[in-house]
Amino acid sequence: MPKSPFAIARRNKKGLLIPTLPIMKKIVFVLGVLLTTGCVAAKSKCTLPSPDGGEPGKVSDRNLAGYLIDKKNNKIFIKEYRTNKTIKVDVSEIDTPYSAFGGDAPFSELVPGIAVRIWYKNCRKSAINLPKAAYFEFFANSKEDQPPESYFTQKGQ
């Protein structure tokens, strides 16, 4: 009996039904489309904090939290809160860093050792380039004024 190109399954030597190659290709294609669509949808849901506070619960989770180590030529170096790894971030697209309590200060006036939170552009780290900051928040511009642990771990703003 000839095999139909439209068959979705066939029996193996033990008599069990197994999917045919054409249906497997369709399944893989559909899964690929769904995963790609899901990634695009997730990317479009990036909501940055508002300098004036905005609505609680409407902000995407921060991408990086830690302590400012240094700043040079539109780059900042952050000691990540959990791992203590030094992360270099491009801040060239940010005009003003904002305080968690309102107000702002130029990057040149920020003091090393202060607690910071950063949201990346599109809320994602680039796979090949330096991460680009879209929003930069500092707790207070004083090493002596340190935040509670929840500042580093809380979701959203």
- Per-residue pLDDT tens for 76-116? 999 999 999 999 999 999 999 999 988 999 999 999 999 99
Q: Which domain holds residue 82?
A: 64-153
Are residues 71 and 28 part of one domain?
Answer: no
Count of domains observed in the chain: 2
Quote the pLDDT of residue 45: 86
Tell me phi and psi for residue 37, to 5 degrees.
-65, -40
Are residues 95 and 21 part of one domain?
Answer: no
pLDDT of residue 46 exceeding 90:
yes
CA dist 68 to 33, 34, 39, 107, 126, Å? 41, 39, 31, 11, 21
Are residues 70 and 38 part of one domain?
Answer: no
Query: Mean pLDDT across the stretch 30-41?
Result: 57
Confidence of residue 147 (pLDDT cuts 50, 70, 90): very high
Q: What is the average pLDDT value for the chain, to the nearest integer? A: 84
Helix (H) or strand (E) holding 21: helix 21-43
pLDDT of residue 29 exceeding 90:
no
Residue of 82 and 34 predicted with greater confidence: 82
Quote the pLDDT of residue 34: 59
Confidence of residue 44 (pLDDT cuts 50, 70, 90): low
Count Cβ atoms within 10 A of the Cβ of residue 79 and give its class: 0-12 exposed, 13-18 middle, 19 or more buried. Answer: middle
CA distance 14 to 29: 29
Are residues 133 and 69 part of one domain?
Answer: yes
Are residues 81 and 29 part of one domain?
Answer: no
Question: 119 - beta bridge partners?
Answer: 135
Say what percent of the chain tops pLDDT 70: 76
Residue of 114 and 37 predicted with greater confidence: 114
**Is residue 123 one of the residues assigned to a domain?**
yes
